[in-house]
Structure formats: C-alpha cells, structure tokens
Amino acid sequence: MTRLSPDIRALCKKLVRKGLKCAKIMGTAPSETAVVGGQDRGGIRIGESLGMKAIWLRKGIYADVLPSEPSEDPDYVITELNELKDILRMQ
C-alpha cells in the first residue's frame, strides 16, 4: 500500500468532502456519480472510496503507467473525453 504524507492525506480528505458536496449539489447518490482521473490516481482512489464510478483518462505521457495497487483500478478506461458519453449512456 502506498504511504501518503500528512499533506497529501489532508488534501485527499478535502477532496472527499468536495466530492460528496458535488454529488449532493447535483442531486445524485455517489453510486450515480463518476470521477474522471488522469495521471494522478488519487482521483480514482477517492472516487472508489466514495462508492462512485472511477474512470481513467489514459492519455498523455503517463498513459502507459499502470495502476500499482487495487485501489487504483478504475471501473472504466477511456483515451478521449468524448468516450464518456458511451459510458454515461450505459448507466
């Protein structure tokens, strides 16, 4: 398991609160909400910890860097943002 510095843990807690607040503002349950993450797997981990769908935008210089632990495994992998519409239609 990756050990996070106190600063990163504090940031993650803040993002979790913001993620839940965003879902509440949108009127969606976490299970009806998706988080899209890129090179930083933190978004994937946070989304999954909240019960949200996690989508990895696999693009750019980090496209070949695979998840290093199970908590970083996304529910979906896309290479272009326009692929989101297909995933959202499936829901």
Secondary-structure breakdown of the chain: helix, strand, coil percentages, each rounded to the nearest 5: 55, 15, 35
DSSP states along 59-91: -GGGTT---SSGGG--SEEESSGGGHHHHHHH-
Which among 70, 7, 77 is positioned nearest to 15, based on CA atoms? Answer: 7
Between 3 and 74, whose confidence is greater?
A: 74
Q: What's the pLDDT score for residue 82?
A: 93
Segment of 2-6, 25-29, 55-59, 69-73 carrying the highest mean pLDDT: 55-59
Structure confidence by residue, pLDDT tens digits, 10-64: 666 676 777 778 778 888 888 888 888 876 677 788 888 888 888 999 988 888 8
Q: What's the pLDDT score for residue 58?
A: 92
